[in-house]
Structure 1
Amino acid sequence: MHIKITCFRYYGLLLAGFFLLAGCGINKNALKLSPSFVDRQLLGAIDQYKILQSHVDEGVLPRTFSPKTKKVINGHNRLWTAGFYIGTLWYLYEFSGDEALRREAERRLPILEKQKFSTRTHDLGFILYCSYGNAWRLTGNNEYYDVLLTGAESLIKRYNPAVKSIRSWDQTHGKWKFPVIVDNMMNLEYLNWASGESGNPTYGEIAITHANTTLKNHFREDHSSYHVIDYHPETGEVLHKHTHQGFDNESAWARGQAWGLYGYTMMYRDTEKKEYLEQARHIADFILNHPNLPEDLIPYWDFNADGIPNTFRDASAGAITASALLELSTFGNDGKSKRYLQAAETMIRSLSASPYKVETGGKGGFILQHSVGSFPGNSEVDVPLTYADYYYVEALIRYKRLLAGKRLRMGH
C-alpha cells in the first residue's frame, strides 16, 4: 500500500504521507462503541453483501431494492451511484482480508472503466474515486491509477472559469443555465488526490476555487445550504437559488447538508484552510442544533419537510453525516469536537439497529433501509440505497481505526 494523500495550501502544494495527523487526535477512553460492536456490524455487512452479490446481473451494478417486486434494482454504469457497491466491497475487504470480496470488486471494476472518458457528468468522484480510488489504495495496481488520472482530466473539463465552478447538470429541462449542486463538493477530493499524485496543481486549484464559490453562494445565514445555485455561464452571476430534491427552495434538504459537511471537512483536511474547518463546524452545529433533528439523530429527509414527525427518515443522510462527524471530531480537542464524536457514535448505534438495519438475509442483501433518494420526484423513497451502505461502512472503518489508536485514515 503506497498511496499518498496531498495537502494543498492556497499558495502551493505540500505532499503528505498516507496518514495526516488530525488535530490533537482523540483520547481512546472517549470512545464509547466497543471493538466487538464495530466488528459485529462489519461482519454482518459482509454477510449481506455476499447475498447482494448473487442478485447483481452481469454488466450492471446494484442501486436499490424494490419493496413491491422484492427484487434488487440494478443500474447502468453512468449512474452517479454506480461506484458505491464496488467501493463498499473494497472497504469490507480492507477490514476482513476476505479474498472473495476482492475478487467480486475486481470483477466488477471494468464495468466502470469507460467512464474515465466521460465529460457529461460531474459525478466522477462518486463513480471512479469511490471504486477505483479504494482499489488503487489497497492494491497499488497502476492500471487503476491510470484510470483515475484520466477520469480527473475528464472531470475538470466541466469547470467554467467565469463561474469559478464545475457544472453539475447538462440536462436542465429549461430551468437553469449553469446549475451547481451542493453534492458537487464530494467530487473535489478526487481532484485533490489527482494533483498530489500527478504533480499538476491545476486539479487542486479548481477544487479550491469551486469550494470557495460554493462557500460564498450556497449557504444561508444559519449555515444551511441551498441545493441548486444557477449561474450565468458567461458572467458568473447568481441567477437562482433553488432545490431539486428538497422540500422547497428555502428548506434544508438533509442529504444536501450532509454533503456540505463532508465536503468542507475533507477540504480542510486536504488544504488546512481554516475557513473550511469553520464552515464544516457551522454546518455540523446547524444539523445537531436543529429542533427537528430526532433523538436518534437520523434526520428526516428534509429538516423542514411537511408533516414532521410523520414523514420519512433518510438513513443515507445519517450515514454520510456520521462519517463526516467522525473526521471532523479529530480536528480539535474542545467541547465541540467531543460533541461531534458523541453524535457520530449515536448515529452509528442508531443505524446499526432496527428500524434502519436490514434484518439478516433481507432486502436482497443491502445493509441499511429507510433512505430517501428524491421525495419530490417520487424516486427511491423509503428504500435501501447503495450510498447509504457505503458511508455507513466507511464510518465503521474509520471508527475501527480510532479504536486501534491509529490516525484516522484520510480520504479513500
Structure 2
Amino acid sequence: MRYASVQYSILYSEFIDSSKTFYPSYGYPLDYEWKSTTATNGWTQGFFPGVLWNIVEYNATRQFLQHATDVTMPTAPFANNTGTHDVGFVIMSGFGNAYRLLKFPEYLDVIVTAAHSLATRYSSIVRCIRSWNSPTGFLVIIDNMMNLELLFEASNQTKNQTLYDIAWQHANRTMYEHFRSDNSTYHVVKYNETDGSVIQKYTAQGYADWSTWARGQSWAVHGFTIAYRYTKYEPFLDKAIGAANYVLTHLPSSTDLITYWDYDAPHNSTLAYQPRDTSAAAIFASALVELSQYAPTSDLKNQFLTNAKAIVDQLSTPTYMIYGNKDYKLPALLTNGTMGPYPKSPYDVSLAYGDYYLTQAVVRLAKL
C-alpha cells in the first residue's frame, strides 16, 4: 500500500496537469504513460478514485483524502448515464467507497441517481438488466453482477423496494442461465426480449463459447458474494462458493495461483503463448476475503482466507508487480493483465481494475 501511495501520487499529478481529465485505463509497463479515458467516458474511470479511497481506508491522511475527493467528483455526471450498465462500476468504486467511509449525503445522492439510471435498463420480461446495447437481442454479461451493488445499496439507504427487486431478479436469473453444471460460467447470454427465452450462450472476451473466461468467473464469485451480503438468500451464497471452488480447483497448480486469461486456453502447449490475467486473480482474491466471512464452516473460511492471502502475496512479487522491475516505467501496481480476447486485445498490461481490486483485497485482509 505504501507503493500504491507512491504510484498513485504520480497519477494524481498527471490528473491535475490534465485539468482533471486524466483517468488511467490500461498501460504497457515499458511506457511512461497510461492509455487514459475521461471522467464521463468508458467504464474504467471509477477505479482511479477507487484506489485512492482504498489508500485512505488503509491509512487515512489529509493529503490522500483530498486526492480521492478531487478525482471522484468529476465522475458525478456519469450517474445520469442510462446508456450503459457500467454506471455501477464507475459510481460505486468512487462515490460508493466515499459514502461508505464518510457518509456525506451528497455522495448518497449520486449513488441513488445512478441506481435509477441503471434501473431503466431492466426488463421485466427477461428479468435482467441489459448489459450491452444490441439490435439483435437482449445481451447480459456475467460482469453485470458487479453492478447490482449499486441497486442494493441505493435500496438499502432509501428503502426503495423496486431497486432491490430488480437486483434480486437479475441475480436469480443469472444464477440459472450463466452457470454450467460444474459452476463455471458463460460470459454472455443473449435473450429474446419479447418472450424472455434464451437465444444463445457465448463468449466475447474468452477463448471459446464453451470455455471459462477467467475474469468473468471472478466477477461471478464477487458478484454473488455481494448479492448474498445484501439479501442473505442462501442460493446466492451457494453459487458464490461453487464458483469459488471452481477457480480453486482450476488454478495452474497448488503453488501457481495466478490464472491464465481463460481456464480452458491451451496454456500447457509449447506451440502458443497464453498470457495470465492478474486482474482476474485480484478480483478473485478480494471476493474470497469477503466470502470467507459468510462461509458455513470454519474449514471453508480458513481455506478461502488462506488462498486469498496467498494470491495477494504472489501478485505482490516482482513477477507481477511494476515494483522490482528496473525496465518498467509505468506508474502502476500490477502487470500481466489481459483484457481479452487474446491476442486481439491488449495483454501483459496494467489494468486500472487490477490495481483497484488488489488494493481492495489488501484493505479487506488488513481489517480482519
- Same fold? TM cut 0.5: yes
Does the CA contact (< 8 Å) of 2:28 and 2:330 recur in 1?
A: no
Report the Cα distance in structure 2 between the residues aligned to 1:115 and 1:235, rounded to whole angstroms.
Answer: 31
CA distance in 1, matches of 2:252, 2:29: 28
- Give the corresponding residue for 1:335: 299
Unaligned 5+ runs, structure 2: none
Q: Following the alignment from structure 2 to structure 1, what is the Cα–Cα distance between the partners of residues 234 and 263?
A: 27
Alignment of 1:41-190 (within 5 A): 42-56=1-15, 57=18, 58-67=20-29, 69-76=31-38, 77-170=40-133, 172=134, 176-190=136-150
Q: After superposing the two structures, state which structure 1 stretch, 119-128 or 373-382, moved more.
A: 373-382
Structure 1 residues 68 and 322 mapped into 2: Cα distance closer, same or farther (>3 Å)? closer
Mapped to 1, the partners of 2:254 and 2:263 lie a distance apart of 10
**Partner Cα separation in structure 2 for residue 291 and residue 284 of structure 1:** 11
TM-score calculated relative to the size of structure 2: 0.93
Q: 1:306 aligns with which of 249, 263, 266?
A: 266
Q: CA deviation at 1:376?
A: 4.0
1:370 to 328, 331, 336: 336
Q: Aligned equivalents of 1:316 and 1:294: distance in 2?
A: 19
Give the structure-1-normalised TM-score: 0.83
Shift of 1:115: 0.9
Matched with 1:253 is 213
How big is each residue's C-alpha offset from its partner over 1:314-366, in whole Å with a ceiling of 9 and x where there is no partner?
Answer: 10000000011111112233322221111111101101112111116954321
SS at match of 1:285: helix
Shift in CA distance, 307/314, structure 1 to aligned 2, threshold 3 Å: same
Higher mean alpha-carbon deviation, 206-215 vs 367-376, is at 367-376
In structure 1, distance between residues paired with 2:97 and 2:301: 27
Cα distance change on mapping 1:55 and 1:65 into 2, 3 Å:
farther
Equivalent-residue separation in structure 2 for 1:179 and 1:190 (angstroms): 20
Residue of structure 2 in register with 1:29 after alignment = none
Give CA deviations for 1:223-256 in whole Å, capped at 9, x if unaligned.
1000000000111100000100000000000000
Q: Distance in 1 between matches of 2:201 and 2:253?
A: 24
User: How much does 1:131 deviate?
Assistant: 0.4
Hey, what's the Cα distance between the residues in 2 that align with 1:216 and 1:363?
Answer: 45
2:346 to 380, 383, 387: 380
CA distance in 2, matches of 1:130, 1:389: 12
Partner of 1:211: 171
Instruction: Name the residue aligned to 1:288.
Output: 248
Counterpart amino acid of 2:207?
Answer: F
One-letter amino acid of the counterpart of residue 105, structure 1: A
Give 2:305's aligned amino acid: L
Q: Sort the Cα spacing of 1:377 and 1:113 in 2 relative to 1 into closer, same or farther, 3 A.
A: farther
1:379 alignment partner, SS class: coil
Q: Using the TM superposition, give the Cα deviation of residue 68 of structure 1 relative to its aligned residue in structure 2, in angstroms.
A: 6.3
CA distance in 1, matches of 2:83, 2:199: 22
Counterparts of 1:54 and 1:293, CA distance in 2: 40
- Runs of 5+ consecutive residues of structure 1 not aligned to the other structure: 1-41, 403-412
Give secondary structure in 2 for the equivalent of 1:192.
helix
Residue 53 of structure 1 deviates from its aligned partner by 2.0
Read off the aligned partner of 1:273 and give its amino acid letter: Y
SS at match of 1:235: coil
Q: Distance in 2 between matches of 1:96 and 1:127?
A: 23
Report the Cα distance in structure 2 between the residues aligned to 1:401 and 1:106, rounded to whole angstroms: 23
Give the C-alpha shift of residue 294 in structure 1: 6.5
CA apart distance, 1:50: 1.0
Q: Which of residues 348, 360, 371 is equivalent to 2:312?
A: 348
Q: Secondary structure at the match of 1:330?
A: helix
Percent identity, aligned pairs only, is 37
Select 2:192's aligned residue among 226, 232, 242.
232
Give the aligned length.
Answer: 358
Q: Is the 8 A contact 2:186 2:209 kept in 1?
A: yes
Which amino acid in structure 1 is aligned with residue 71 of structure 2? R
Per the TM alignment, residue 47 of structure 1 is displaced from its structure 2 partner at its CA by 1.4
| Conservation of the 8 A alpha-carbon contact between 1:167 and 1:180 | yes
User: How far 1:141 sits from its partner (Å)?
Assistant: 2.0
